[in-house]
């Protein structure tokens, strides 16, 4: 399956999750109602019949309150997680890697994430660490592929070398591309509702036990308290039953995804030694169990199991480590045993056979076709979310090509803003000094910005998108007011000459898409048919046709061939004067709310249009990447190299 198939499958899994949730809720309501009947039966002196209970108001109230508790528990957790991955890492107390960290391990971690992000065509996720967690584990979270955060344990940073960490990070990136993140967050909310019954039972048991033993009460009142204690104890038991069913739901939805993510990690890096080395260290004693009180909640989201439990074959959210090693290559399990034996005989040899820290090996990798030939062969939609070793090498090359001084500035919020201003100024036809004056800077700041513009102007245009990708997580450290001010200043620079170049559109739209309020939220699907998007397709494909440089009849033919596969009736190429910014933004807004299968066809047709002349211009590649970003489709670097 490709990225779009996974997105479509995730939508169906959401429906399956709703079904499981409904069945679990019905079972819990029945169990709570039975417990309430037994309590009332005891209080009434064994005179109440079960047949009368189902028609009694008490049953209806009990069932209604149980449903209300479950729904409230789910909605409360969903509200807590409304900001996606950032809300989850805040709940866990994870620490964000400092923008200018002095830790070598943290720098390697962030570099690996940035290289993977550039290779896959998404902004670099913000990087977090779970301190005081000595085991090896990791997770990604977010509602959108382009709005993810990634978190690893302190043990993963300390115990894994670079290639092993890269294998784990590649595994987590595959969860981004396979549409696992959104359903994982929803599953958290669903399970919170199911477990809320047990929490209410704990409250009833605790509060009524205190009243019975610490206050003088009458006989009838004491009997009522005792009944509430029994009901509370029963609800705690039912809560554990809910936990059992919650585990079953997790296992049904998440277990097979881990094999797929492991395979994707090997595919991305062409280096099975990376993820296999991490799994071997887990197998040989490092473990994956977490100490946090949220370990149970997180069990389906992490690289490995977070809590110990029995009935592994029924309730495990992850396959056994041995099975994961055998799935990568049967020989790895034997290697794990050999390394464990050597470690017992000679502790210093535990790390033998691994690449040294800082190495970037791609063992057994073969050249993979990229650029025009590869895209024509596999289709652009198949490239979305499909990172190859060639893309990884390209990501590392682009990451390394950014000068160290500029790289450091990309990790400083104020300097990152100035670099984005420099990109906008260099893309404009206006005089740099005139544009700098619009920002109302001091004379010293103005001189620094002019110097920054000169530095950026010397760079290859292919570094512009990677610089934007690296700046986004830094700019997210700005508060809401600072973000709005930054975007307003950038908009002022771009509109100063009363014309918007393709790159200016790319720059402003990608940054706004990730820095505006509610950027972390995924849009709902509103369009399921191409004909409902005719006008939007016409605007977008007309724009890209004009950017391609085609003219007259050639342009018309290019446009018709690109749109013919989508619509019943032939569209006419719009003149450039009708491809204005408001129309383009509205078109992208509507297309972003279409189904994954519609997006797949759109991406293929757009890439075919770009590649029609056998050459990929920087402006075309940037515009295609911006469109894919706004459609939440991670597009790896596309070039004619």
Active site residues: 172
User: Which pLDDT score, from 0 to 100, does residue 366 have?
Assistant: 33
Residues 334-371 have pLDDT tens digits of 776 676 666 665 544 444 343 333 333 222 333 333 44
The residue among 420 and 23 whose pLDDT is bigger is 420
220 pLDDT above the threshold of 70: no
Q: Which two tokens stand for residue 217?
A: 């009460």
Tens of pLDDT, residue by residue over 617-639, are 777 778 888 888 888 877 777 65
pLDDT at 615 over 80: no
Whole-number mean pLDDT of the chain? 79
Which range (258-262, 330-334, 571-575) has the least confidence?
330-334
What does the DSSP assignment read for 363-426? TT------HHHHHHHH-HHHHTT---HHHHHHHHHHHHHS-HHHHHHTTSHHHHHHHHHHHHHH
Residue from 569, 574, 507, 509 nearest 540 by CA = 574
Instruction: List b or e across 584-612, with b for residues whose CB sees 16 or more CB atoms inside 10 angstroms.
Output: beebbebbbbbbbebbbbbbbbbbbbbbb
Q: What is the pLDDT of residues 595-604, one digit of tens each?
A: 888 888 888 8
Percent of the chain whose predicted confidence (pLDDT) is above 90: 22
Rounded average pLDDT over 481-486: 93
Give the pairing of strands 95-96 and 149-153: unpaired
For residue 424, the model assigns a pLDDT of 92
Task: Tell which residue, 47, 28, 55, 50, has the closest CA to residue 37.
Answer: 50
178/287: higher pLDDT: 287
| pLDDT (average), residues 24-44 | 77
When pLDDT is averaged across residues 184-195 and rounded to a whole number, the result is 82
pLDDT for 437 equals: 86
Mean pLDDT to the nearest integer, 474-496: 91
Query: To 5 degrees, how large is the angle CA 243–CA 246–CA 250?
Result: 140
Digit-coded pLDDT (tens) for 60-70:
888 888 888 88
pLDDT above 60: residue 411? yes
CA-angle at 496, arms to 491 and 498, nearest 5°: 105
The residues that bridge with 151 in the sheet, in sequence order, are 128, 139
pLDDT in tens, 513-556: 889 877 767 667 888 888 889 899 999 888 888 887 778 888 88
Alpha-carbon span 133 to 157, nearest angstrom: 10
Q: Determine the pLDDT at residue 379.
A: 55
The whole-number pLDDT of residue 330 equals 80
Q: Where are the domains of the chain?
A: 1-93+107-119+126-365, 402-515
Task: Specify the pLDDT at position 360.
Answer: 32
Give pLDDT, residue 159.
Answer: 94
Is pLDDT of 128 > 90?
yes
| Between 416 and 497, the higher pLDDT residue | 416
632 sits in the region (left: phi over 0; alpha: psi -120 to 50; else beta) called left
What is the tens place of the pLDDT at every residue in 73-126? 888 888 888 888 899 999 999 999 998 888 999 999 999 999 999 988 888 999
Residue 557, CA distances (Å) to 164, 296, 376, 554, 609 in order: 50, 58, 19, 5, 11
In terms of pLDDT, which residue wins out, 140 or 251?
140
Contacts of 447-454 with C-beta under 8 Å, sequence gap 24+, read: 448/418, 449/418, 449/421, 449/422, 449/425, 452/409, 452/418, 452/419, 452/421, 452/422, 453/422, 453/425, 453/426
> What confidence score (pLDDT) does residue 224 get?
56
512 or 391: which leads in pLDDT: 512
């Amino acid at each position: 399956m490709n990225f779009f198939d996974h997105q479509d499958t995730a939508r169906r899994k959401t429906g399956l999750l709703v079904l499981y949730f409904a069945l679990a809720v019905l079972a819990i309501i029945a169990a709570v109602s039975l417990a309430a009947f037994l309590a009332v039966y005891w209080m009434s002196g064994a005179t109440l019949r079960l047949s009368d209970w189902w028609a009694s108001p008490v049953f209806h109230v009990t069932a209604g309150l149980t449903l209300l508790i479950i729904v409230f528990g789910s909605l409360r957790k969903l509200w807590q997680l409304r900001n996606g991955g950032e809300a989850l890492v805040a709940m866990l107390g994870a620490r964000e890697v400092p923008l200018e960290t002095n830790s070598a391990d943290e720098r390697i971690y962030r570099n690996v994430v940035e290289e993977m992000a550039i290779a896959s065509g998404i902004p670099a996720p913000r990087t977090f660490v779970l301190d005081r967690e000595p085991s090896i584990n990791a997770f990604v979270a977010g509602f959108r592929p382009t709005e993810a955060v990634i978190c690893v344990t302190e043990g993963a940073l300390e115990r894994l070398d670079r290639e092993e960490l890269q294998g784990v990070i590649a595994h987590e990136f595959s969860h981004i591309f396979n549409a696992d993140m959104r359903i994982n967050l929803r599953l958290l909310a669903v399970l919170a509702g199911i477990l809320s019954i047990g929490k209410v039972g704990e409250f009833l048991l605790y509060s009524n036990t205190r009243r019975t033993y610490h206050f003088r009460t009458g006989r009838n009142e004491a009997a009522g308290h005792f009944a509430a204690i029994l009901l509370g104890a029963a609800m705690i038991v039912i809560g554990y039953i809910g936990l059992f069913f919650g585990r079953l739901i997790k296992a049904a939805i998440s277990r097979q995804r881990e094999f797929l993510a492991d395979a994707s990690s090997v595919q991305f890096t062409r280096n099975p030694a990376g993820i296999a080395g991490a799994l071997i260290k887990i197998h040989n004693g490092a473990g994956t169990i977490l100490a946090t009180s949220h370990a149970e909640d997180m069990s389906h989201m992490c690289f490995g199991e977070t809590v110990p439990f029995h009935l592994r074959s029924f309730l495990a959210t992850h396959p056994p480590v041995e099975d994961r090693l055998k799935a990568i290559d049967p020989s790895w399990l034997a290697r794990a045993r050999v390394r464990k034996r050597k470690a017992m005989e000679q502790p210093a040899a535990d790390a033998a056979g691994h690449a040294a820290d800082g190495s970037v090996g791609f063992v057994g990798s073969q050249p993979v076709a990229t650029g025009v030939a590869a895209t024509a062969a596999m289709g652009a939609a198949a490239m979305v979310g499909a990172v190859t070793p060639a893309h990884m090498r390209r990501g590392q090359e682009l990451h390394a090509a950014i000068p160290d001084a500029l790289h450091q500035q990309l990790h400083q919020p104020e300097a990152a803003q100035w670099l984005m201003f420099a990109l906008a100024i260099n893309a404009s036809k206006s005089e740099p000094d005139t544009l700098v004056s619009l920002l109302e800077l001091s004379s010293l700041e103005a001189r620094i910005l002019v110097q920054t513009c000169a530095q950026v102007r010397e760079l290859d245009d292919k570094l512009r998108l990677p610089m934007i990708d690296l700046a986004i997580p830094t700019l997210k450290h700005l508060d809401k007011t600072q973000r709005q001010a930054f975007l307003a200043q950038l908009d002022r620079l771009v509109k100063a000459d009363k014309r918007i170049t393709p790159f200016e559109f790319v720059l402003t739209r990608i940054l706004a898409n990730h820095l505006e309020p509610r950027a972390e939220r995924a849009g709902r699907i509103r369009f399921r048919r191409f004909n409902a998007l005719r006008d939007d397709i016409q605007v977008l494909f007309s724009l890209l046709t004009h950017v391609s440089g085609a003219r007259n009849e050639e342009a018309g033919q290019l446009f018709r061939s690109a749109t013919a596969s989508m619509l019943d009736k032939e569209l006419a190429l719009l003149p450039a004067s009708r491809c204005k910014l408001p129309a383009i933004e509205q078109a992208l807004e509507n297309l972003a709310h279409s189904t994954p299968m519609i997006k797949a066809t759109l991406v293929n047709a757009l890439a075919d249009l770009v590649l029609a002349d056998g050459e990929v211009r920087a402006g075309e590649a940037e515009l295609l990447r911006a469109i894919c970003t706004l459609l939440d489709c991670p597009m790896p670097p596309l070039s004619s190299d």
